[in-house]
A and B are shown apart, each in its own frame.
Chain A
């Protein structure tokens, strides 16, 4: 026996360790994704706060510088008055010293904030962008800016912030802090904006993500390796040992010299499994030993039984036709034991030239005891018959002989007939056996309810009566054992004497051999799949007439 190859599925589906590690790695990935998302959020918010704080301080310083007076003096200066230029210089210094990229003061148009007019516009010297000229008018960048401008001008908001940190092609990520430039009465005169690049934010965020990814990969590798080693040592190696041992045992059927519980030392369920496998091997071996012994014993009994079957079959007349030189009668008989040997038997022999003795008998029970009893009964009946007794005399003498030594209370039912060949006179006696069936030359088969005596072997004082039948040329006799009417189909129904007579009459004119073949076919058809339960024995005699 070879262990079936299990190579279906990929590497992961075939290895417990790989499955468990895959699970752990997946969990790690999910965990790190959560950590990095939360981390990145917090990180971004903290950095942004710091950024915007600086930008607002710059913006408020600039707004303080420009506010407090009438802003229109700057708006109408054309960018050329001394005061304007002085303010511009101060803003320029503020821009460069505060680290802002762009500092500008604008006048949004107050109808729909769709356009803005630049009054001051100062670019950091390190920036690659150029500033807008005085009085430059452009469209507001987008609706977000429009809304912020409106909030400052109409709602009196002191601070507004626009963050543009993703997905912008035309500009680098940046924030814009906006504060109002207020007049002497606190009215909003202009908006001062400070723009700061977020290059530090993005670069540090990228390095944060890189770092966390590296940690994740490293940790996953470490966990995978650790898990693999742990699983292999604690679970897989012992399980493999058990599997190998089971496969080996299946192939060799011999217990190994080294006990499995010595190589697998786990105290957990795997240890229990190893002990169970070991125990199972011990039991299987004992069982196999038993079976081998029993099989040998069974074979021996089988051989003996086969011999007994042959012996029993050879013990009764079994060559047909039995009397080839006698044309006055034709006889045919069959015996089919339900087990190897049976308790039924038929018998026939010539007592002298003119007298044919016919016997049909059935021993109580089945199998070997019945077969032994049958052999004895057959011999005693034949011995008595050969002494030239009458039919009833034979049964009585046989009964006495058997009763004298029958502690087991076995008995045998016997129908016995002696045919006077020259005249066709049949003298019969029945010791508790089934009714015989007769057929007149011009009629059909009919059950003959003869007088019954008690079974042979039951009571020492039993007496039997004789009756006579006159056979004409063409008359037939059919005798059988109870296995025939009591043949049972799968539903438990019995064949019965009615079906038996029907089967006989379907074949009424046939020779004895065909009569029995037809009966056998009828019984087989009725029983169908059910097992043959009882012995099936029958005999048919056809009388042809006395010798000329």
Chain B
């Protein structure tokens, strides 16, 4: 898993690639905890995310809660496998997915 952060004034885009699972989720979570000060709008670009496990979903929940008091979080470019996992777990109804 690699998470590449791009900031632009108050908004940020994180491109997540590889697998987001028990092993890599803590790394992603620390990016969320340390890099998002002063960010209003967060976009997660999942175009290169191959797989997300429940531990990875937990970090999305963390991101959502962090952004809930700000302008918001949107998730883009999720592939079919990841989208299916979102559907099954109900995340697709809770997250703003484009």
Contact = CB atoms under 8 A, between A and B. Distances in A.
A8 B44 CA distance: 68
B98 interface: no
Of the candidates B53, B54, B93, the one having the most CB atoms from chain A within 10 angstroms of its own CB is B54
A454 B58 contact: no
Contacts of B55: 364-366
Interface-central residue, B51, B90, B93, by most chain A CB under 10 Å = B90
Max chain B Cβ within 10 angstroms of own Cβ: one of A433, A435, A453, A454: A454
B54 A452 contact: no
A78 to B, nearest CB: 128
A452 B61 contact: no
A543 to B, nearest CB: 25
B57 A411 contact: yes
Nearest to A344: B54
Contacts of A453: 90
B76 interface: no
Given A409-B65, A458-B94, A452 B57 contact: no
Contact of A452 (B25, B53, B62, B88): B88
Given A409-B65, A454-B93, A364 B88 contact: no
Contact of B54 (A363, A367, A435, A454): A363
Interface centre among A409, A411, A462 (most CB of B within 10 A): A409
B61 A458 contact: yes
A244 B55 CA distance: 55
Chain A's interface size range is 20 to 34
Given A365-B22, A435-B88, A409 B94 contact: no
Majority secondary structure, B binding face: helix
A433 B61 contact: no
A459 interface: yes
Given A363-B54, A366-B55, A409 B61 contact: yes
B88 A365 contact: no
Given A364-B54, A455-B90, A482-B54, A411 B22 contact: no
A25 to B, nearest CB: 66
Interface in A274-299: none
Contact of B89 (A452, A486, A534): A452
Contacts of B51: 486
A365 B62 CA distance: 14
A197 interface: no
B89 A413 contact: yes
Contacts of A459: 94
A362 B93 contact: no
Contacts of A366: 22, 55
Contact of A432 (B22, B53, B62, B90): B90
A345 to B, nearest CB: 13
B88 A454 contact: no
Nearest to A455: B89
A432 B58 contact: no
Contacts of A432: 88-91
A172 B90 CA distance: 122
A411 B91 contact: no
Contacts of B94: 454, 458-459, 462
Nearest to A432: B89
Interface string A147-191: 000000000000000000000000000000000000000000000
B65 A433 contact: no
Contacts of A409: 58, 61-62, 65
A446 interface: no
Interface of B: 22, 25, 51, 53-55, 57-58, 61-62, 65, 87-91, 93-94
Given A364-B54, A411-B58, 17 more contacts: A362-B54, A364-B55, A365-B25, A365-B55, A366-B55, A409-B65, A411-B61, A413-B89, A433-B89, A434-B88, A452-B87, A454-B93, A455-B57, A455-B91, A458-B61, A462-B90, A486-B53
Interface of A: 343, 362-367, 409-411, 413, 431-435, 452-455, 458-459, 462, 482, 486, 534
28 contacts: A363-B54, A364-B54, A364-B55, A364-B57, A365-B22, A365-B25, A365-B58, A367-B22, A409-B61, A411-B57, A411-B61, A413-B88, A431-B90, A433-B89, A434-B88, A435-B88, A452-B87, A452-B90, A454-B89, A454-B90, A454-B91, A455-B57, A455-B89, A455-B90, A458-B94, A462-B90, A482-B54, A534-B53
The 4 closest A-B pairs by CB, nearest first: A454-B90, A432-B89, A364-B54, A364-B58
